[in-house]
């Protein structure tokens, strides 16, 4: 790890699998080193991955295999900003088709329990618009969605 900050994600034995999935799904992502157990230990065997370094969308990450009782919650999520419906669909569909669970308003939980928000930039523009009426229309439209529909957000911004 070369930077000053890395995010550590605690998995229940699936750190290497999760890191590979993320690196296959998102650009500017790559696997780093895998530190393996030199001997059997409580909860694992020699050769099991203990930690996995990887880069996700340019951000240094560390996957740690730990106890199963520590799980991910809605309290932390990764926002992935998209520029087109195709990009939104690609990320969303990759997560969902690999055991993910859609939530609401751009949120989706992957099969490992990590929460992602697949957020179109047009949505953020609409929610931050200087006109309160536009913000209200975009917010109302968003609340009706699970995966965000770029065209519906653009229509809400335009007042259609």
What percentage of the chain exceeds 90 in pLDDT? 86
Domain segments of the chain as ranges: 1-68, 72-160
Would you say the CATH fold of 72-160 matches that of 1-68?
yes
Would you place residue 132 in the very low, low, confident or very high pLDDT band (cuts 50, 70, 90)? very high
Count of CB atoms situated within 10 Å of the CB of 54: 24
Q: Any idea which fold 72-160 has?
A: 2,3-Dihydroxybiphenyl 1,2-Dioxygenase; domain 1 (3.10.180)
Q: What is the pLDDT of residues 76-105, one digit of tens each?
A: 999 999 999 999 999 999 999 999 999 999
- CA distances (Å), origin 41, targets 33, 37, 48, 116, 153: 20, 8, 10, 32, 52
Contact of 109 with 100, CB cutoff 8 Å: yes
φ and ψ of 41, to 5 deg: -150, 165
Q: Indicate the pTM of the whole model.
A: 0.90
Q: Residue 1: is its pLDDT beyond 70?
A: no
Would you place residue 60 in the very low, low, confident or very high pLDDT band (cuts 50, 70, 90)? very high
- CA distances (Å), origin 84, targets 63, 68, 88, 116, 158: 29, 37, 6, 17, 18
């Amino acid at each position: 790890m070369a930077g000053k900050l890395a995010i550590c994600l605690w998995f229940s034995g699936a750190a290497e699998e999760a890191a590979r999935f993320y690196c296959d799904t998102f650009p500017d992502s790559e696997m780093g080193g895998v530190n393996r157990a030199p001997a059997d230990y409580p909860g694992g065997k020699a050769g099991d991955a203990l930690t996995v370094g990887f880069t996700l969308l340019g951000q240094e990450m560390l996957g740690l295999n730990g106890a199963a009782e520590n799980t991910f919650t809605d309290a932390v999520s990764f926002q992935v900003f998209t520029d087109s419906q195709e990009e939104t669909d690609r990320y969303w569909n990759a997560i969902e088709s690999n055991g993910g669970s859609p939530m609401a308003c751009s949120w989706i939980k992957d099969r490992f329990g990590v929460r992602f928000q697949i957020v179109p930039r047009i949505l953020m523009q609409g929610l931050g618009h200087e006109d309160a009426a536009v913000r209200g229309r975009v917010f109302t439209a968003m609340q009706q969605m699970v995966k965000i529909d770029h065209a519906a957000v653009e229509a809400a911004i335009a007042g259609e």
